[in-house]
Structures are given as structure tokens and as C-alpha cells.
Structure 1
Amino acid sequence: MTQNSPDTAPEVSVRDRDQESGKASVSRLIGVDLARGLAVFGMYAAHVGPDPSRGGVTGLLMEPAHGRSSALFAFLAGFAVVLITGRRTPKTGRAGRQAVAKVVIRAVVLLALGTALTMTGTPVLVILAFYGLYFLLVLPLYRLGARPLTAVAAGTALVFPQVLYVIRQGIGMSGPPSMPGDPDGIVSLLFTGTYPAMTWIPFVLAGMAVARLDLTAATVRARLALTGAALAVIGYGGSWLALHLVSGAIPAIRASGAGFGGSPESAWWSDTAGYPFGDTPAWLLAASPHSETTLSIVGNTGVAVLVLTACLTAVDAFPHLRRLARPVIAVGSMSLTAYVFHIVGIRLLGIEELPGSPLHVLLGFIVAICVFAMVWSHFFRRGPLEWLMGRATRIAERVR
């Protein structure tokens, strides 16, 4: 993409600049909504899709959605924080205080909603309560720029998984992850849950760092794509090498009995390898999406960056794609509604085996939410739960 030099650049009116800036901003938001929509479909696939451990083409297609879609959600949570508190320049003064209050209110609502959904007895491992805690934990860092946020994200990704492993051993965790509705409450959200804040905060921080960049610039997107690819290779490739080069690593994972129908040899990338159980240090070499390791965070972050970059680039490079992808974009614009929709649907339909539903069930969920989102967005700017969230955050306007 060529650019005019300062000496030869034509004069552009303020109105033209504003229009161009507005179009670029809209394109960026559409790209983010497209990525959110894909994350929603990934969550659907992980919960009401066929079980990837059954193998075959269908199982292979389902595998990427497991764990990586929730990591993409967490990554995009960083975008939400930045969009509320100020994109390129963080808000200050009264506007800054109101923005902080809005984030806090959103966090509290998500904590309450997520806990309530979990306590209904749904078989879904609900992420919303964890999501709310992520908002609260990263909020003190909202004024940082892209580089400091990147440094903090990298530091937490390198250190926190090892700390989490020690903490889990210290509190005697030897079974599967717990949920926020369990008696351990905040301990679940921070350490023992399916999406523990200690090892999921790096995704949010990485999303905040990316959101601070000029995502309209082709060079920035190219660097992001290369960075995402490099992170994915380092995470998954590094895990594959470590598991095969460190003597006894794979047998130790096999002996832990943590698998979900998959082989321990696939712990470098597959969720079917299971969750870390008991005192098995070899799990720290895995990169399966829910292994809560440094390598899994690096690999999953790389995938999230690649997906976002692809979505941003696609909606700009192929204008017709916007029309074709309108259902996905509409779903992404009301991702909270779409997420709760599928949990309620699973509960009403009495689906208990997650994953394990036939492919047509997954397709039915996707078609249903796409139709709903398209019809709703034709009449309203926000999804129903997004509208309610907006009403709740209006209280922040009273902050002085």
C-alpha cells in the first residue's frame, strides 16, 4: 500500500479526513464483530458439536474450536476494555472516571450473570463470571500503551502458569477444574476453575495491546499477522518438541489419566488430551488449549491474533464479504445475547453430553442465532442483552 510523502500529499479537508477516519473506524469495528461472531460459533461447536475425540474429518474440523474460541473471546475482551476507556488515547478526568465505572458495572453484571447461569445446573462450563473478573483485574492498566501492555502480557504468560501450578499443588487440587458456583467461589475464578484468571489474563492484556495499535495501517496488520503466526508456531511447535525431547513427558501425561478420548501424544495441540490432573510437571510442556501453560497461552494468543487480523483485512479488502458475512457480523455485534442463547437452548433441549451432539444440532443452533441476529439488528442497534447492559452502565454517567 503506497503512501504520499509529506511534500506531495494532496490537501484533504477536515470533513474528508473525518469521513475517512470514520470509515476506517467502522471497518475496524466490523472486523472485530466478525471475529466475535466466529468466536461465538466456535463456542457453539465446542458445546453442541460432534466430539472431536471420535476422529474423522468432522472431529478434525471441530478440534480448533475447543479452547481457542474461548481464548479468542478473552482476547477480544481486551478490545472491549479499550473501546470503553479510550482507543488510541485513554480517557482522563471525568470521562475517564465514568469509563472506569462502566467497566466495573459490566464486570459485576457478568459475574452475577455467569454465576447464575452456572447455578442452573447447565453442563456448559460458563465463562461469563471469569470474564467479569478479567475486566476488574486489567482495569488498573487501562492507561498503558501498546508496548507496556505487551510487556505485561508476555511477563504474565511466562510466569503465571508456573505459579498457578504451584498454587494448585499447594491447595491440593487433584480433580477437574471447578466452577464459580462451587463453594470455593473466588478461588475457582482465580485458580481452580476452567478459565482461571491467572492464566487467562494474558489473553486480555494482549487484546488491549493490539487494540491500542493503528489497525487501519497495512504495515501494522502485516506485522500482526507475522506475530500471530510466530506465536502459534512457538507455542504449538515448542510444545511438540518439548514433549518429544524431554524423556518421560508423554508417559507421565498418559499415567495422569486426564484424557478425554485423545492420545497424550496430542497434548501439544488437542483439547482431547484433557486437563492437567494431580502432580504431573510434564503437563507444563503441553499446549492443549486448557492446559494452562505458557506454551498454550502463546499458541492460543497467536491463533487469536491471526483470526482478528484476517477479519480486519478481509472486510477491507473484499467489500462484498461484508454482505456475505452479515449474519456472522450481526451475531458478533450481540455476542453476549448469542452466548446466553445457546446456554438456554442447551438447557431447554436437555442436552447433557458436551460435546457429542450430531452435526445437525450444531448447524441448527448457528442458523437459529443468525436468523435472530439478522432480524433483530434490522430494527435495533444493539442486541437485547447488550441493550440491558447499556442501560445498567448509564449509572456511570452520574460519576463526577
Structure 2
Amino acid sequence: MTGGWQPLAGPAHRVALEILLDGPLSRAELSRRVGLSPGSLTRITKPMLESGLLVEVTAGPTDPRVGRPSQPLDIVPAAHHFVGIKLTGDDAVGVLTTLRAEVIATAELPLPDHSPAAVAATITELTKTLAAHRPDGELSGLGISLGGQVTGKNNVRHASFLDWTDVPLGELMSAHSDVPVVVANDLTALTAATHWFGAGRGADRFCLITIGAGVGYGLVVHDQIVDSPDSSLGLIGHHPLLSDGVRCERGHVGCASTLLTTQGITREIGDALGREVTYDECLDLAVEGEPAARRVIDRAGQALGHLIAAAANFTLPDRVVLGGEGVRLVEVAHDALQAGLRTDRHPESTDPPIVLLDPDFHEWARGAAVIAIQTFVLGS
């Protein structure tokens, strides 16, 4: 199935999007959601069925008197494939997904250096590797995400992990491939994936907090990502959490960037032990009861509790989603996190459910693929 998704307008667009996100859906349910009569819905979906954008799938009998099976409408997820690539300071991590962001292949390559040309060449090679998992090698879009400021879905205004300023990455990639390319901030991309196809589905409001190399925050309200030119600045990284914490490079005491980043945690525990340690080793040592590790990890957990409380108090989310490569902290410092959360919440308030994402970088790459899917589907 290779028919293109032509961005639609009005009720037809709403029908297609409802099915993409929540299908298969019965015609009755679709009529209710988009406010169309059965006749109008039939007129709208007929050309979509003829083009192959939609298909009828058989469900169980809906009328016990006649046993007539319903035929909900659905898309064909495997009709289109997308590559999503997450750039770190060291690697390009990629996934191949369907139209519903189902991951069907993963791959990664090291970055030989940080020059835009070298990074573009690495992305091109990785994209070809992933596209080879399709019988025809065709792709409908390529999404690239990275930590930094991105404008116009093309230009990387600033990316500290790559030492980039004003790099037109989208244009560079277009010179290497005829696949449509979109570039996004990695936190924005992960928020989009959580919203459309992940733990945020069905929530009127949710926030996403990520901990790892940095601390990130994304917010969805009334089915829309709250976005601005400042969203990719990592503003939450310098939110004050504890009055007795380490001082960061900007002079803040006890801010999120010193207490919750993997680098901040490994540096403090490594200094206490007199040797270098990895992040997972820090968590393992805390579980084993090593005093210095336990102290630092519990303090980080308490700080994360304060951060979750601040997000919950200000935005009243239906749920809080926690992700990033450092998210194992939530389990190891569970009691300290709960103590920090309760300290800053009203005693009669109901704490929002907390959902954990997979810490693997492929989750971020999937977010990049979702940005490409959204651009493909919405036409912008």
C-alpha cells in the first residue's frame, strides 16, 4: 500500500486524524466525534476508502438480532514509514516506524565529529540502513531531533552538545535525500510522541519531565502542546529545588541542573568516593546502601519530588510523565521522591498519576519520527 496521505481540510481531516490516533472506529463513533450525520460521513469517507487512505475492518456482531458485523474504519499503518533520528553529542540513534509510530527497526552510529557535514553524512547513512528494512526502501518522512533551539523545522539556532550555532540542518539533509525532512527540539518531539501515541493519550492536560544529560519540561493542555520560542532553552533546568545544593555554573544553589542531571549526580558521588563512576553504578551503590551514594540519590529523589509538585501545582495535570535516560532514579529514590512531593502539595490535594517512559534513547528517536508523521499528516 503506497498511496499518499494528502493533507485534508475540515471534517475530512478530523475524520482521518481521529482514526489515525484512536482507530479502528465505528461509523457511529466517528459521527459522534466529528458531529456529522451518517450520510455526510459516508460522503466524506468514500473517496478516502477508494484512495486506500482508509480501510474497513471486521469487528464482532453489533446487532444480536441479525448478527450483522460492524465494519469500523481504520488506516493501514504499514502503508507509510518514517525514520526518526535523535542526535546526542556522541551518536545518532535511529528508528524506523509505521504511520502510527510503531517501531519496527532500530540502529545507531557514532558521530565522527561535530561538523555539520559529518553529522549530515552520518544521518544519511543511518537513514539508508533503516530504510533497507522496507521491501521497497521508500520513506514518507525523516525527523531529526536534538537538544537545542530549532526554528522553522529546519535551522538549528543553537545546540551546545554539538557546538552548533545557526546550522541549516534541514537544508543540508535535503541535499542528501529527496525524503521530506523536519528538524525539532528533542523535548518537543518526545512531548509530541507522548501526546499522540504514548502515555499522554486521552489526557486533557499532562506534563512531561525528563532527566538525563539535562532536565526538560513539556506541557500539553486541551490537546495542544504549549510551545514558544523559549521552549527549547531548558528553562526548567535552573529551577531552584533545594537550598543546600551544589552551586551551578550560573551561580544558582540547588537548581535542577546540579541535582537531577546524570553528570551532576555522577560528579558528586565520584568526588565523595574518590573515583569515576557511571550513573547506573551510582544507583546500584545507593541500592546496596553505600552512604555517599544513598545520600546523593535520596537528595536527588527529594528534589525531583519538589519539581513534580511545582509542575502539578502550576498546571494541574491529569498525569505526570517522567522520561529520559536518568529516569531509573524514580524507582531507586521512590520514598525520597514521595516525601519531596508531599512537602509541597496541599494535604487535601490528589497527586496526579506518574507514568514512566523507557529510558532508552530510541524513545527520543521515536519522538523525532512522530514530528515527521505530524508534518506529513497535517501538511505543515
Of structures 1 and 2, the larger Rg is shown by: 2
TM range (shorter): under 0.3
User: TM-score, normalising length from structure 1?
Assistant: 0.23
Higher helix share: 1
Higher strand share: 2
Query: Of the two structures, which has the highest relative contact order with CA contacts closer than 8 Å and spacing of 6 or more?
Result: 1
User: TM-score, normalising length from structure 2?
Assistant: 0.24
